[in-house]
Amino acid sequence: MPNKTKKQHYVPRFYLKNFSNKNKDEFFIHCYDIDKKDSYPANIKNIGEEKDFYKIADENYEEFFQKTEEWASPIINNLSKNGKIKSLNIVKNREKLSLFLAIQFLRTKEMREDLLEIFSKISMHLQKHNLSKEMELLVEEIDEKNIKHNQMGFIGHGALKMIDELFFKKWVVLKNKTEIDFLTSDNPVVLYNPHGFLGVASEYIHIFYPINPKLCLCLLDPSNYSNFGEYKKFEGNEILMNIRKTEKYQINSIDDVNMINDVQSKNATKHIFSKHNSFDRVSCLVEKGLIVPSEKRERVKFQVFKNTENGNDIIVTSNPNNRVNFI
């Protein structure tokens, strides 16, 4: 029924299963709550979700997300089970995964919180000025429904921009050979840049998406990396040749796994997930204030400059503390 309240997952259950433990016919995952500084086992039905998260009046966008999951889940599940990377060199598979990853990046609770913060800061700035009636109405519409609409629109045009950027990255599957596991979270597609700006199209960018505790998909800037941790400058046709083939990379260093897990944990909204309750390092980062509770987090740094030619305000936003959410 169209008006029935229901749980809607912004992190798919098929994905969470890869980090879970089966008990009878149910799947449970260890969950660390950043706000409560505590961990507990949770059924995957009850995490990475919110009631009517995508429902706006009589509109419901969940079916669209379910369709992209249907396309991507066989590829991700097969990779998780056998670790073979040949399927990632098939153009159709890479297209499906690029779409799925773009949408996963944009559909989360974290993205909604980002949008809410940036619209709220713009609204507060505009209220300092004499506004037209139209602008006053716009400022007043910064509410949950409005933010949902904006997120759906952001997904619509943002995903299309992201697909090509993701498709034409250097794809690498990281095989974790250490005794510690990859973690994931309620915001699982995360960006890291050791040398510059955080953005899908940025030079030197690393995009991490853990597949299971021992596998992680890594998308790299193809102009500067031949593999994970292997800097090599490419130009012209060399870039295209570099893009064509997915590589394997065996991680033997705990430091490398910790770095990837730290990026994942710092980008989580509220929950970090583990198959084996491996949260000692996460707990330490929370205690040191390096992972900040959601309600205390500054997601968007807001600066206003004056245009010297016409006197208009120029609004510049950025992400503090090396966190990233916008393209």
Convert the pLDDT of each residue in 81-118 to its tens digit.
999 999 999 999 999 999 999 999 998 988 888 877 77
Q: What are phi and psi of 271, to 5 degrees?
A: -125, 135
Q: Which two tokens stand for residue 36?
A: 């409560």
- The CB-side HSE value for 289 (13 A sphere, CA atoms) comes to 1
What is the pLDDT at residue 233? 94
Q: What integer pLDDT is reported at residue 323 of this predicted model?
A: 42
d(CA 72, CA 62): 15
Domain containing residue 156: 7-296
- On whether residue 89 sits in a domain, the answer given is yes
**How many alpha carbons lie under 13 Å from residue 49 in its C-beta half-sphere?**
17
Which residues of the chain register pLDDT less than 50?
1-3, 320-327
Asked whether residue 2 is assigned to any structural domain, the reply reads no
Q: Residue 60 phi/psi, 5° resolution?
A: -140, 115
Q: Sign of torsion, CA 259 101 221 151?
A: negative
Measured between alpha carbons, how far is 244 from 234 in angstroms, rounded to an integer? 13
Look at residue 311 and tell me if it is in a domain. no
Residue 257 makes CB contacts below 8 A (sequence gap 6+) with 176, 178, 180, 181, 182, 251
At 1 the pLDDT is 40
What pLDDT does residue 148 have? 80
Kindly state whether residue 326 falls inside one of the protein's structural domains.
Answer: no
Are 162 and 199 spatial neighbours (Cβ–Cβ below 8 Å)? no
How many CB atoms lie under 10 A from the CB of residue 137? Answer: 10
Q: How many domains does the chain have?
A: 1
Q: Does the pTM exceed 0.85?
A: yes
Residue 1 within any structural domain of the chain:
no
Per-residue tokens: 262:
């730290």
